[in-house]
Structures are given as C-alpha cells and as structure tokens.
Amino acid sequence: MGVYHIEKGHNLPLAGSAELKLEELPQAQTVSVNFTDYPSRKFRLFVKAGDTVKAGQGLCSCKAEEDLVFTTPVAGTVKEINRGARRALLNIVIEVSDSNDVVEYPTWDADKIKSSDREALAKALRESGMWQLVRQRPFSTVADPQALPKSIFINAMNTGPNNADQEFLVQGREAEFAAGLSAISKFTDGQVHLVTQPNSTVKAFTEAEGVNHHTFEGVHPAGLTGTHIGLIDPINKGDVVWFAKADQVALMGEFLLTGKVPSHQVIAITGAQAPINAYAKVLRGAQISDLVDIDFDKLRVVSGDVLSGVAMGPTEGLGIYENQVSVLPECKEQFYLGEDRHWTGAGVNRYSTFRLFLSKIIDKDAWDLDTSLNGEERGIVLPDVYDRFSPLDIPFNFLVKACLAEDIDSMEKLGLLELDPEDVALATFACPSKTEVSEIIRRGLAILEKEG
Amino acid sequence: MLRNFSKGPLDALMEASHKVGPLKALHRAIEANDTFVRTPKKVTETRVHVRDGLDTKRLMSTVIVALIPCLLFAIYNAGYQKLNGITETGGFTLGSIEPNTINYMIHGAYHILPMVAITYFIGLHIEMIFACVRDHEVNEGFLVSGMLIPLTMPPDAPLWMIAVSTAFGVIVGKEVFGGTGMNFLNPALTARAFMFFSYPTAISGDQVWKAVDVAKDKVVDGYSAATPLLEATSVRGEDIVGHLNSKGFSFSDMFLGLIPGSAGETSTAIILLGAFILIITGVGSLRIMLSTVVGALVMGWIFNIFAGPESLGIMHIPAYYHIVMGGFAFGTVFMATDPVSAAATPTGRIWYGFFIGVLAVLIRVVNPAYPEGMMLAILFMNMFAPFFDHYVIKGNIKRRLARG
C-alpha cells in the first residue's frame, strides 16, 4: 500500500476535456476491428469479405498461437479486409446489422472464477477474443500465458492530456470489475497492484479484493503504467509484468459474467475542435465518422491521447486499448518575422514548458494545441531535458543514444526494458531539437525484442 | 505585414531550389533563409502529435540576448580604454577626441563590430556550404559561437586571424564531428585556442589588450595595456592586493570591468547580468556555474596556504579575486555551460565544473608562459566530460543490476 507523489513531469493543459456525462450518439453503422494493435503478428483468417458474422464470432487467429482468437464485437457482414505493406493485416471492417445473432460463451460467476484453474480461464478468454486486453511488459505485447508474470498492474487512474477518467468509466461496475480482476489475478503467484488516484470514490477500486492498493498523484506521467511499475516493482532483465487498464478489466469481467463478447464501451471524445466533449457509449471499434462529424482535412483525429495515440482516418475506429478520441487542429499556417507565433515573437500564443515565451506569464489553462512541429529536427542540444519529464531512474539521453547506435548491450543495461514509448512522450514533446524520442525507443524495443 | 510582400518571393525561391529546380544545389541555404523569415510548415508525423513551442532558433537567440550586454560593454570599454590611453590618434579622426560616452561607443564599435561581422560572415558561410554539400539543414549552433568568438579576442586582433581561427573552430570544432549537437569540444574555444597557438603575439603579451596601435597613436605618460592577470604574474610578494590597487585594479574596478582585456570578458558585473538571463530562462546550467566558482575558490585557497613571501603575486591573491580577473567569469557563464560539450548527467556536471575551476586557477598560477588558464581548462574538461558521465552511468547501471 504505497502513496506516491510525482513531481518530475508536466501536465499538458489541453482544452476540450470531456464533461462527465454520457452523451447519446447515433449507433455506428460500421465497426473496424484493428490489427495494428498487434505489430509483427501474422493471422490466419476464418472469414472473407461478404461473410455474415455473429457478435462474438472469431474472425481470425494468430498463426504463432493458434488458440488466440480475434472476435468481432458486433453482428453483421464482413465489408472489407484491409492489408498494408507486405500483406500485413490492418483491419477487418464489419457492416453492422440489426440481427441479434450472438455467440453464447459459457458464463462464469464469481465463485466459478475463483475456483477455476488457470488453463480453463485462459482458454475461455483466448477463444473469445478477450485475452488480448491484458498485455505484458517489456515490449507491451499481448500477455503470454506460458510466461507467468512476477506481478500484475491494474491502472485505475490517468493523468494524460484529456484522458478518459477511469473513475467515471468504472463507477457502478463493481461486479464486472471484480470478476475481471479475480480472473486476471489467477495468473501470478506474485502481487496484483491496483493503482488509483488518492481518495477514489469508486467502490470497485476501494473494495477490490486480493490487491495491493497504491495511490499516485502529481504531474503526468503519474498516471502511466510505466511509472507505476518503475516505482513499485521495476522490471529487470528476464522479468515479465502484466498490465491492463481498469475499464478493460471491467470489459473482461462483463464477458465472463454474461458469456457474451461486450459490444459497447464508454469512450471520451475530447479536444476543443471536436463537435462534443463528452463521454458516449459506442460500439467497440466504431467507425469514427459515424460517431462525430469532423472535417478530416482541417483536423487530426487521434485514437488515444495527443502524446501517444495513433492518427485515424475517417473509416477507422479506436484501437482495442484506447478509450479516448482526441481531436486537434492541423497546422497549415506559417508565421512570419514580427508575428507572435514566429520564433522571434513574444509567444503569447505559443505554449512551452520553458520560460522563454510570454505565454508563461499569461494565466491560460486550456490550450488548443495544433500539430505544428514548432521547429525542425536538429541534433540534441539540451541533453538534460528528458530526465526532467520522467520520475524513472533512467539516464534518458544516454539510452536514446544507445538506441540510435543500436548498442544492444547498453540499451538493456540502461533500462530500455522498463519503457514503453508512451513513457517518453513528454520528453518527445519538450525536446527543442524535435527529436523523435518515442520512435527511437520504439525502434530500440523492436531490436531488443528480436534479439530475444 | 512582412507576410504580404515576402510570401511570394520566398515561395518562388523554395520552388526553384526544389529537388529538380534550377537552384537545387543551394537548396539548404535558401531553406535556411526561408526558415529564418517564417516558421516551417512542418507538422508532427509520429504518435506525439503536439510539441513544445521552443525550438533551437529561440534557444540560441536567448543566449545571444544574454550576450548583448557584454557586446555593448565591449564596445564601450574598447572606446574607453583607447580614448583614455592616447592623446592623439592617426587612425580614425585627426586631432584629439573628447572622452565621452558617444565617442567611446563610436570608437569601440569601430574596433569591435568588424570582428563580430567577420566571425558571422565566415562562420555562417561555412555552415551553409557544409549544409548544402551534406544535404542537411543549416544548424543554429553558430549563432552563439559567432558572438562568443569575437568577445574572447583582444579588442584589436587582426581580422584575417580571426577569420582563419573561426573557420578552424567551425570545421574542426564542430562540422567534422557531424555538426551542432555532435561536437565534444566547445567550437568558440577551439577557435580561440587555434588563435592562441598559431598567432601567439596577437593574443598575448602586454600590448594587445587595448585597441591602441603604439606605432600610430600617441599615448599618454605612464601608458600600459597590461591586464590584472599580467600584473599579478609579474610581481612577487604578499601585498598583491596593494599592488593591483595601485595599478587601478581594485576588486571593484575589476568587477565593473573598465580595464584592459579581451573584448567581452572584462566586466564581471555585465556577465552576471547575462548569467541571470540564462538562469532565469532555464537555458544555462546554474549547477555548472556554481561548481566552477567553487573549484576556483578551493584551488585559490590552497595556493594561498602554500604561498611564501617570494611566491608570485597570483599565489597570494585572495581566491575570490580569480573570479573577476581575466576570462574566468565569461568562461564560467558562457563557455563551460555549453550543454553539448559539457557533461550531461547532473552529478557529472558538478565534477566537470569543479575541475574547470581548479584547473583554471592552477594553470594561471603555475604556467610561466601565459597567465590565462580558463580556455585551456574548459577545453581539457570538455575532453573529460564523457569520463565523468561514464562513472555516473556506471552507478546507474549498478543500481539496476542490484535490483535484479
């Protein structure tokens, strides 16, 4: 039971946070099941374009692990199967029908979960497409049931820009969360760590059983799983830690209790440019243009938050691990010498973590940041910036250089295995040389993963 | 406003220097000009969709802003030293000149501004050539070095020597290693070191520290262009403070800086103003500045202990005098704090700064040939910066392995 206060980091004061209310949105007509969430996996398809599918039906399985099935949350017709470079599977688009055809899986009650063995539970989750909600570190890949973790982390809080509030998402879902938590807890002989904000009002969290309950507060990245793991039970070479977000644990619990793959999830639609800033219960993977009317030429729509999310096109939907849509304006303008947003300008409208612009003196707490790079990529000139934005004991400047040099030995020794690209997103944001720190870390992790 | 009449020509130039355009070879130079006048169109293309407003242009400009007081004082002081040291000059105007502020600035500018101009001219052209040939963007690093180099030179150094030294500093101090962010030596100091070793008579001795040409100008009685450091290393005995006072070099004289010396290095007061700007904006490392001062104080104090009645005056000098003498303050605030060539870890920086201070005083006291040790101390510590970082990182790795 730890209480943690994070001081190293930064809260991005982004405008357009979702109001804590559920908005009614029209039902989406198309759903996109994403496979970009599972990089470097190959899939064996069960369906082809034109097939009718029931809700919860398997669409494909992973070639390397044939028992890991990927299912559709809705009933309908397979509209498209999109592939990318080297025939990599990008997504499967389902046209939603009103049919009530549902694949009925066995139901599990609280006692059955408690008394079950790991294999049975894993099988139930893997054949229904729910297992994927649990990931493991290092590498943030789908958890491997053959490599049991030393501990499991459930993230029930968030500090990122306009993140969907876990307190709001899980409020009232005590039974579902407890069921999911009970199921996941089976898979470790070590501790299950539940991290919430201080003074949580959600009974599901405060009355959770069999967990070590920690609270984190302070500046972002206090809410990132990487921070929790790094401060509570850091990953050393050879360790495996599993993690999941609290609302996804509730989804797993919903499946176990009802025997049906959950069709809906509550998401937050955020960003000052979005037509609404509220939560909505939508089909999982709903095509974004069905949900909100957005001008994709002028705006960028991101699955996730602006620090780590993936840009979406109009026909795409949220990734399986995301519960937030972020809308921000694309920067199409250039600013000239003498103007405020030029690099010589006073900078009243230029947001910065550094004390070099007039914006620092202005009391503005909601910024509609655009996608401008605000500079150009240069060599790293301020090597100590990155360390200011993470509480982890990692020398980030040297780790970045080890990744660039592909020095595998140094990458490991300097703690790359503890990181996910989102853990260095703030460093990427702040770097005046516009170094793509998150991408460098991502590539470094890919190299390490390949080395084994 | 500027937007209206420059957008057209700028767009046309960028178009002409495009991959298949007629000005293709000059693409990087045209692009550098373009990004000076207007912000680039670049947007984020990875998963971090927003970025901090600070870029390297603004960062470097801030250091220049911190250096402008030094530049203005350098101009004033060059004029002051000259007009108070002569009765007539055969150079600029005939007859005697009234010693007032305007004339100080005019005469000072006559000596200082060409040095600044030649440094920027040579340096920026070399940067552009490298950028065009290697096909990368022109880096902003030279904006700072270009201001630092002339401020470390004697006020009347021959321009061609400065040009050659600047070229050496940019090419060998930086470009050879890959440009801004890749250098392990401070490029401005590399230029000065080249000047020092190649043209020693132009940068040392007791004639060069005022902008007075003893051949052409008629000097006053008792004229001397000796600096406090030269004085302190040319006499022996304990009453060095008294000796310096008698030459017009009391602590407050040296702190204020209206004394002979390198162009921008004389006034500790003005340098402190620059330090304040760098610290308040978070650009300069207070840690390095303080540890350098501490190192100098420690070494100065050690020498005080070992100084005997026949020792050189500089051994007897109170340790805190070192800060206001010579190029110590300037080097501490503007050279040692260069984030690329300094140590990168916080602990490493403390050791780095400390040993710069120690070495600067050590060289001053024991070097028989040349009394200024700051430049050499910083360059030497630039080479050792990775050494300090290496041991700090080793500690980090050990902590991680111990957890496992």
Q: State pLDDT tens for residues B189-206.
A: 999 999 999 998 887 777
Are residues B216 and B89 in contact, defined by beta-carbon separation less than 8 angstroms? Answer: yes
Whether A373 and B44 lie within 8 Å, measured CB to CB: yes
> Is the separation of the CB atoms in B112 and B263 below 8 Å?
yes
Sign of the dihedral defined by the CA atoms of residues A175, A177, A179, A181, in that order? negative
Task: Check residue B353 and give its pLDDT.
Answer: 97
On whether the CB atoms of residues A208 and A190 are closer than 8 A, the answer is no
> Could you write out the three-class secondary structure of chain A?
CCEEEECCCCCCCECCCCEEEEECCCCCCEEEEECCCCCCCCEEECCCCCCEECECCEEEEECCCCCCEEECCCCEEEEEEEECHHHCEEEEEEEECCCCCECCCCCCCHHHHHHCCHHHHHHHHHHCCCHHHCEEECCCEECCCCCCCCEEEEECCCCCCCCCCHHHHHCCCHHHHHHHHHHHHCCCCCEEEEEECCCCCCHHHHCCCCCEEEEEEECCCCCCHHHHHHHHCCCCCCCCEEEEEHHHHHHHHHHHHHCCCCCEEEEEEECCCCCCCEEEEEECCEEHHHHCCCCCCCEEEEECCCCCCEEECCCCECCCCCCEEEEEECCCCCCECCCCCCCCCCCCCCCCCCCCCHHHCCCCCCECCCCECCCCCCCCCCCCCHHHHCCCCCCHHHHHHHHHCCCHHHHHHCCHHHCCHHHHHHHHHHCCCCCCHHHHHHHHHHHHHHHC
The pLDDT value recorded for residue B94 is 42
Q: Which residue has the higher pLDDT, B404 or B131?
A: B131
For residues B188 and A131, give the distance between their C-alpha atoms in angstroms, rounded to a whole number.
59
Which of A182-196, A270-284, B128-142, B264-278 shows the lowest per-residue confidence on average (mean pLDDT)?
Answer: B128-142
Number of other residues whose CB lies within 10 A of the CB of residue A67 = 12
CA-derived radius of gyration, chain A: 22
- Integer Cα distance of A303 and A323 in angstroms: 8
Report strand pairing: B86-88 vs A299-303. Answer: unpaired
CB-CB contact of A410 with B74 (8 Å) = no
**What residue in A sits closest to B62 (Cα-Cα)?**
A356
CB burial class (10 A; 0-12, 13-18, 19+) of residue B325?
buried
SS3 B231: helix
- The predicted pLDDT at position B370 comes to 78
**Proportion of chain B above pLDDT 90, given as a percent:** 58
Amino acid at position B337, single letter: T
> Cα–Cα distance between A43 and A34 in angstroms, integer?
12
For B4-27, write each residue's pLDDT tens digit.
888 888 888 888 888 778 888 888
Least confident of A99-108, B231-240, B277-286: B231-240
CB A308 within 8 A of CB A438: yes
Asked whether the predicted pLDDT for residue B295 surpasses 90, the reply is yes
Establish if A413 touches chain B: CB-CB under 8 angstroms. yes
A393 has a chain B CB within 8 A of its CB: yes
Report yes or no on whether pTM surpasses 0.90.
yes
A44 inside 8 A of chain B by CB: no
For tokens 């840690």, the residue is B287
pLDDT at A441: 97
Check pLDDT > 80 for residue B164.
yes
All residues at 6 or more sequence positions from B383 whose CB lies less than 8 Å from its CB, including other chains: B184, B185
- The identity of residue B216, as a single letter, is K
Residue ranges for chain A with pLDDT beneath 50? none
Is A341 in contact with B36 (Cβ distance < 8 A)? no
Interchain pair B48, A438: CB under 8 A: yes
- pLDDT score of B95 more than 70: no
pLDDT of residue B216 exceeding 80: no
| pLDDT the model gives residue B87 | 65
Output the pLDDT for position A219.
96
φ, ψ dihedrals at A4, nearest 5°: -120, 135
CB contact under 8 A, A371 and B344: no
Instruction: Indicate the residue of A344, A394, A415 with minimum beta-carbon distance to B61.
Output: A344
C-alpha distance from residue B244 to each of A254, B76, B154, B267, B313 (Å): 86, 23, 21, 17, 10
- Take residue B147 and report the two structure tokens written for it: 């201001």
Across B324-347, average pLDDT: 95
Query: Which of B51, B142, B281 is the mutation pick for testing A, counting most A CBs within 10 A?
Result: B51
Q: Strand pairing of A43-45 and A19-23?
A: unpaired
Phi, psi of B366 (to 5 degrees): -100, -10
Is the Cβ of A398 closer than 8 Å to some Cβ of chain B? yes
Q: What's the rounded Cα separation, in Å, for the pair A369 and A283? A: 29
Residue from the list A239, A336, A430 with its beta carbon closest to the beta carbon of B38: A336
A327 contacts A16 by C-beta, under 8 angstroms? yes
A429 vs B48: CB contact, 8 Å cut-off?
A: yes
Percent of chain B with pLDDT over 70: 95
Report how far apart the first and last C-alpha atoms of chain A are (Å, whole number): 34
What is the rounded average pLDDT for all residues in chain B? 89
Distance CA B129, CA A404 (A): 26
Q: Which residues of B touch A338 (CB under 8 A)?
A: 1-2
The ipTM value here is 0.94
pLDDT at A320: 94
Instruction: Identify whether the C-beta of residue B154 lies closer than 8 Å to the C-beta of residue B209.
Output: yes
Interface of A with B in 284-313 (CB under 8 A): 300, 302, 304, 306-311
The rounded distance, in Å, linking the Cα atoms of A377 and B403 is 37
Return residues 422-441 of A near B (CB < 8 Å). 425, 428-434, 436, 438-439
Average pLDDT for B109-135? 93
- Cα separation of A175 and A90, whole Å? 34
- Cα–Cα distance list, B131 to A119, A338, B141 (Å): 61, 27, 13
Taking CB atoms within 8 Å and a gap of at least 24, the contacts of A40-44 are A40/A446, A42/A89, A43/A70, A43/A89
Q: What is the mean pLDDT of residues B277-289?
A: 95
CA angle B70, B73, B75 (to 5 degrees): 110
pLDDT on residue B15: 85
Please name every residue paired with B317 in a beta bridge, in sequence order, or none if there are none. none
Closest-CA residue to A129 (of A208, A241, A54, A51): A54
| Chain A nearest-CA residue for B386 | A398
